[in-house]
């Protein structure tokens, strides 16, 4: 973010306006009970107009710890009379205020959707492009309906498809995620997915980088995985001899026991 020079240079407050503490307090007391007004805390000049000055007073209203009354006063050019512009309550540095508002659409995270929830996609979402257009010639409603019908047959009804940007975003997300080469599972894998018999190939531009894991015993079953991903359920994994289960000894049949002895077991 760039900061303009005007915000770096603090404007000197107008002397007459800066001294008008009593005028500011008097205006404040017309709006607020005296019990809620504390000491004069200071004065600041507005950056754009040096004869416009704001006086700050401590706020003792219950529940407003750290807030300040701000009374803005103005002195007109070549005038000595002070005019009160506004009286407001503002949060100070230590005030408890609500966190910045984040729109609902930006707060949603993958996994937040529940059955029945709807998440509309904007018409100009850069991740999508139209599958067809109506061309430059003006068409009436019937012509457009015909174009839609043909498009429906040709493109299985899809109005929009993934744009290059949408595809690149998805690829980057998958590569950086749990199905990518940097996940802990992949880092400890004996071999990559690219050599695994459970890797199902994808079609299209991402087919050289990603596939789908089809191993029901693997954590990534049914998920997109990068060729450099991997896990311990790789199709060619074999245990070393010393780790293989030891064969059980043959059953021993004790022929010295009689039939009555077996019944007692």
| Residue 19: both structure tokens together | 């001294």
Q: Considering only residues 57, 69, 198, 210, which one is a binding residue for ligand SF4 as defined by CB under 6 A?
A: 198
Task: Pick between residue 163 and residue 219 the one whose CB is nearest to ligand SF4.
Answer: 219
C-alpha–C-alpha distance, residues 93 and 42, integer Å: 14
Query: With CB under 6 A as the contact rule, which of the stretches 60-68, 104-112, 147-155, 192-200 interacts with ligand SF4?
Result: 192-200
Give the nearest distance from C-beta 235 to ligand SF4 in angstroms. 6
224-243 footprint of ligand SF4 as x/- string (CB under 6 A): -x---xxx-xx---------
Task: Pick between residue 45 and residue 213 the one whose CB is nearest to ligand SF4.
Answer: 213
140-179 footprint of ligand SF4 as x/- string (CB under 6 A): ----------------------------------------
| Residue 230: both structure tokens together | 């991997």
C-alpha–C-alpha distance, residues 61 and 67, integer Å: 9
Q: Considering only residues 74, 193, 224, 226, which one is a binding residue for ligand SF4 as defined by CB under 6 A?
A: 193
CB-CB neighbours of 69 under 10 Å = 27
Percent composition of the chain: helix, strand, coil (DSSP 3-state, to 5)? 25, 20, 55
Q: Considering only residues 199, 210, 224, 226, which one is a binding residue for ligand SF4 as defined by CB under 6 A?
A: 199
C-alpha–C-alpha distance, residues 238 and 51, integer Å: 83
Indicate the SS3 state at residue 87. strand
Indicate the SS3 state at residue 38. strand
Question: What are the residues binding ligand SF4 (CB under 6 A)?
Answer: 193, 196, 198-199, 213, 215, 218, 220, 225, 229-231, 233-234
């Amino acid at each position: 973010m760039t900061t303009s020079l005007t915000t770096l240079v603090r404007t000197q407050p107008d002397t007459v306006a800066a001294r008008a503490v009593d005028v500011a307090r008097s205006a404040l007391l017309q709006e607020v009970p005296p019990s809620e007004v504390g000491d004069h805390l200071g004065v600041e000049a507005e950056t754009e107009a040096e004869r416009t000055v704001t006086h700050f007073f401590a706020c003792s209203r219950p529940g407003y710890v750290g807030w300040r009354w701000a009374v803005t006063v103005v002195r007109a050019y070549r005038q000595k009379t002070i005019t009160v512009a506004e009286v407001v309550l503002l949060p100070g540095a230590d005030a408890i205020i609500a966190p910045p508002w984040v729109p609902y659409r930006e707060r949603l995270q993958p996994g937040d959707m529940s059955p029945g929830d709807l998440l509309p996609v904007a018409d100009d979402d850069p991740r999508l492009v139209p599958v067809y257009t109506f061309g430059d010639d003006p068409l009436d409603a019937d012509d457009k309906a015909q174009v839609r019908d043909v498009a429906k047959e040709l493109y299985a009804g899809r109005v929009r498809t993934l744009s290059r940007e949408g595809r690149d975003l998805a690829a980057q997300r998958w590569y950086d995620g749990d199905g990518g080469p940097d996940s802990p599972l992949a880092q400890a894998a004996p071999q990559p997915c690219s050599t695994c018999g459970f890797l199902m190939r994808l079609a299209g531009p991402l087919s050289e980088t990603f596939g789908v894991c089809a191993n029901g015993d693997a954590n990534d079953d049914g998920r997109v995985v990068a060729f450099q991903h991997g896990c311990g359920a790789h199709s060619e994994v074999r245990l070393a001899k010393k780790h293989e289960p030891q064969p059980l000894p043959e059953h021993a049949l004790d022929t010295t026991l009689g039939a009555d002895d077996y019944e007692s077991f």
